[in-house]
Structure 1
Amino acid sequence: MATPFGPARYRLDVPEDFGGTLLVLGHGAGGDVDAADLVAVHDAALARGVAVALVTQPYRVAGRRAPAPAAQLDAAWLAVIARLRKNVDFATLVVGGRSSGARVACRTAVRAGAQRILALAFPLHPPGKPDKSRADELLTGVPTLVLNGDRDAFGVPSQAPAVHVTVLRGETHALSRDPAAVAAAAVAFVTGS
């Protein structure tokens, strides 16, 4: 689909027992929507009656690995959400993603009208540079669940107002050691159960 910064792609899955919640997930900077944690969350959410859209940013559709500037990522993301609003009759919007995708979801959640944010492997700071914190991006006022590994080289955010942080033992930034545990925590938050 067209965005202000080139074509994006999304895959929308709506289960037969759709309960009114749409979860929109974005990928990490150099990755794609086939990351182990995103696939696990997608599958578990569908099994609980949640519609899921997996969004691929225009720079990845174009075959580039280096991410576009934040303003371009945010604008493309919001364009996809506007399209999804026309295609899915949902009551609750949950935005999220892994790493860079989590940052995009946080920066745009209020403008998108999201009720919740799911931040997988939120990159608190670049590896080895804790002085370059991105913690302020989590301070949206929207209820947010952060799932990070205790071995994440990008750091682990702290609890904050409206931000709940769950630290998964033995996990790195990839969140690939136990995707089922990631999915269980994520879907409990997404469904409010």
Structure 2
Amino acid sequence: MTRTEIVPTETGDARVTWYLARTAQRILAVSHGAGGGIEARDLQALAETLPAHGVTVALVEQPWRVAGKKLAPAPKTLDTGWRGLWPALRKPGLPVIAGGRSAGARVACRTAKDLGAAAVLALSFPLHPPGKPEKSRADELLGAGVPTLVVQGGNDPFGKPAEFPDPDAFEIVEVPYGDHGFAVPKRAPTSQEEALETITGAVVTWTRSLR
């Protein structure tokens, strides 16, 4: 069962599409990146899979996306929008996992501790701009302050799994051959369907391990 909710924030109206679990134990609130929306293949796969495992999924569209703008605003504005819709995510009274893909993952990491998130799911965390490993954003990831799962494509130009710091503060799962959008080459020994199964399987297992 799904429902859609418009949530006013300081930066404009956000939109939350709820994929409801019959007996929910927690909520995964996950937002999109700077170059796409909630139609991203990984977000849709999570929304289709997790409710059967007791996790309600809330796919969050930031105000800039709802307004039809093509370019994401500054990180501070993204954080403000995310903070503004958090009360709506907490309203059901369940633990909320803050999640996002790419830029949305950075937002989740930056705000998790202050908002009281139960954990963070970082999909395709942009560890650095492509070709510029010296401009690391590892401090955002390491500063999340809550249990964190990173799901990263093996060929992600924004940071391959081996480039991440020693994961004492987080768990990391590699999607073999996946790029920043978790697309795999047609000639790869792993299919696109298998790549999505790797993502959903890892997230289901991880959510079950959370207290």
Specify the TM-score bucket, using the shorter chain as the normaliser.
over 0.9
In the other structure, the counterpart of 2:117 is: 114
1:154 counterpart letter in structure 2: F
1:143 aligns with 2:147: yes
The count of corresponding residues between Structure 1 and Structure 2 is: 190
In structure 2, what residue type is equivalent to 1:40? A
The AA in structure 2 aligned to 1:123 is P
User: 1:10 corresponds to which residue?
Assistant: 16
- Alignment partner of 1:41 out of 33, 39, 46: 46
Specify the code of the residue in structure 1 equivalent to 2:93: D
- Taking the aligned partners of 1:141 and 1:55, their CA distance within structure 2 comes to 22
- Once residues 166 and 51 of structure 1 are traced to their aligned partners in structure 2, the CA distance between those partners, rounded to angstroms, is 22
- CA shift, 1:30, in A, is 1.1
Q: Which amino acid aligns with 2:149?
A: L
CA contact (8 A) 1:23 1:190 kept: no
On the 8 A contact 1:159/1:165 being kept in 2, the answer is no
Alignment RMSD, CA only? 1.4
Secondary structure in structure 2 of the residue aligned to 1:2:
strand
Q: 2:98–2:112: 8 Å Cα contact kept in structure 1?
A: yes
Equivalent residue number for residue 127 of structure 1: 130
Alpha carbons 2:112, 2:145 under 8 Å: kept: no
TM-score, length-normalised on structure 1? 0.93
Instruction: Compute the displacement of 1:162 (Å).
Output: 2.0
Aligned partner of 2:110: which letter?
Answer: R
Structure 1 unaligned segments of length 5 or more: list them. Answer: none
Once the 2 structures are TM-superposed, how far is the Cα of residue 89 of structure 1 from its aligned partner?
A: 2.1
In structure 2, stretches of 5+ residues that fail to align are 1-6, 184-191
Q: CA deviation at 1:182?
A: 0.8
- Does residue 188 (structure 1) correspond to residue 188 (structure 2)? The answer is no
* 1:164, distance to aligned residue in structure 2 (A): 1.3
Deviation of 1:120 after TM superposition, in Å, equals 0.6
- Give the equivalent residue in structure 1 for 2:72: 67
Q: Rg larger in 1 or in 2?
A: 2
TM-score when normalising by structure 2: 0.86
Q: 1:34 to 1:141 in 2, by over 3 A?
A: same
**C-alpha distance in structure 2 between counterparts of 1:165 and 1:109, whole Å:** 18
1:94-113 paired onto structure 2 within 5 Å: 94-113=97-116
Instruction: Judge conservation of contact 1:158–1:165 (CA < 8 Å) in 2.
Output: no
Bigger relative contact order, structure 1 or 2 (CA pairs below 8 A, ≥6 apart): 1
